[in-house]
Amino acid sequence: MAINGEFYFAKSHEWIAKNANDKFYVGISDFAQSELGDVVYVSFPEVGKTYEKGDKIGEIESVKSVSEIYAPVSLKIISINSKLNDNPELINQQPYDTGFIAEAEVSDSSDMDGLMDKNAYESFITSIHE
């Protein structure tokens, strides 16, 4: 898997990063997966559907709880990571690589302006745990 872009994060702990095909991968942060615990099931967004920023696009079920996944920006889902059907633990093991949730096209690139880069996100998660 080739991710050549920067990772950008939403306050709801989803990330988005440009891939080698000028599309974007979407997933949840390492912090989010560690808070969830062992992931056992992923409910995916609908392929071909367009979601607005902040829309619920799926759910992640862990041994501890169920957490909703939100669109970090307005996007159209072009594929899902079907490897997670048989190996949902990839989200725990490699949340920024093979544990991505879906591939998407970004509808409005200005939506990215409202996201945090890695340093800002790390400061954000530190501030919510003080």
Mean pLDDT across the chain:
92
Q: What pLDDT is stored for residue 130 in this prediction?
A: 64
Number of helices followed by number of strands (H, E) in the chain: 4, 9
Which two three-digit tokens encode residue 110? 């200005």
Give CA 85 to chain center in angstroms.
16
Supply the DSSP string of 88-107, one letter for each residue: TTHHHH-TTTTT--EEEEES
What's the pTM? 0.92
**Domains and their CATH numbers in the chain:** 11-128 (2.40.50.100)
pLDDT one-digit tens code per residue, 28-82: 999 999 999 999 999 999 999 999 999 999 999 999 899 999 999 999 999 999 9
